[in-house]
Amino acid sequence: MQISSSTPSVWQQLRTRQINCQEALALLVNSQGILQREKLDSEVNSRFFRHFSNRQGLPPVIPLLLWRGCYYLGSPVKISAETIQTLSDRTLTEIKIIPVNSKSYRLWFHSQNLDPNRISSTPLMNPLTGEQEKEDICETTQLYLEKAVDQIARIRTLISGALRNRASDIHFEPMPEGLRVRYRIDGVLRNITTLPLELSRKVIVAIKVMSDIDIAESRRPQDGRIADKYIDDSSDDSQQEVGMDMRVST
């Protein structure tokens, strides 16, 4: 979810003295360590990580605030004093660690490492353990849809989710409240998400355009195909693009 220009981020509110630092931190991370991702400011994120050309050696941290020469970083693990000093030396700032729960970190990490413009069957990996995650399909789909900026990206996001979870079909069903999306997994239709009503028509039109279906015809059934490529790294350690051909029926 993108913060609109009319809604200042927590960091912006802090900088304009609308709130103090403790209030800002409380708005970003609650007492259970749950992170409010939508309230983060991308500028804080980019300022922090520009100090590190290679992030591989970094501990699991989330830039929350930059205030009065101090970075407030969320982390789901205990970070050693030595590592904190290293971060301080690199950024030339003080470093303070704010505990966040592991789920919040994983969701933030996945939101930072996705490309909604490309279809991918790559399973989600837990950044804290390096092991494959058991995906919460609905939660992950919503997370990725927040990053999609147009209808094509939304459709590719939904196709990626279907591939990762080995769905045989994707159903788009107009409902009074919006466009319901369901995957058929192991023969069972599962509710995944409902796109807002204002996006329903746009997404359906985009699907028809992608599959070369007449967008003006809505009464009779039509068939089309979506030809695209997706990222697959299931065979070895390297990622490769694989051709994809999907049948589309109305």
Give 214-250 pLDDT, tens digit per residue.
Answer: 887 777 888 888 776 665 655 455 555 555 667 788 7
Give 21-41 pLDDT, tens digit per residue.
Answer: 999 999 999 999 999 998 999
Compute φ and ψ for 170, nearest 5 degrees: -120, 125
Q: How many helices (H) and strands (E) does the chain have?
A: 8, 9
pLDDT at residue 3 tops 50 = no
Q: Quote the pLDDT of residue 18.
A: 96
Question: In what side-by-side order are the strands of the sheet with 70-75?
Answer: 62-66, 70-75, 94-99
Q: Quote the pLDDT of residue 90.
A: 96
Q: Quote the pLDDT of residue 13.
A: 96
Tell me which residue range forms the domain holding 87. Answer: 10-101
pLDDT at residue 183 tops 80 = yes
Judge if 126 and 243 occupy the same domain. yes
Instruction: Decide if 224 contacts 211 (C-beta within 8 A).
Output: yes
Which of 49, 69, 101 is the last residue before a domain boundary?
101
pLDDT category of residue 55 using cuts at 50, 70 and 90: confident
pLDDT at residue 154 tops 70 = yes
Residue 210 lies in a domain: yes
Q: Quote the pLDDT of residue 23.
A: 97
Nearest CA among 226, 229, 157 for reference residue 192: 157
- The structural domain count of the chain equals 2
Which of 38, 69, 101 is the last residue before a domain boundary?
101
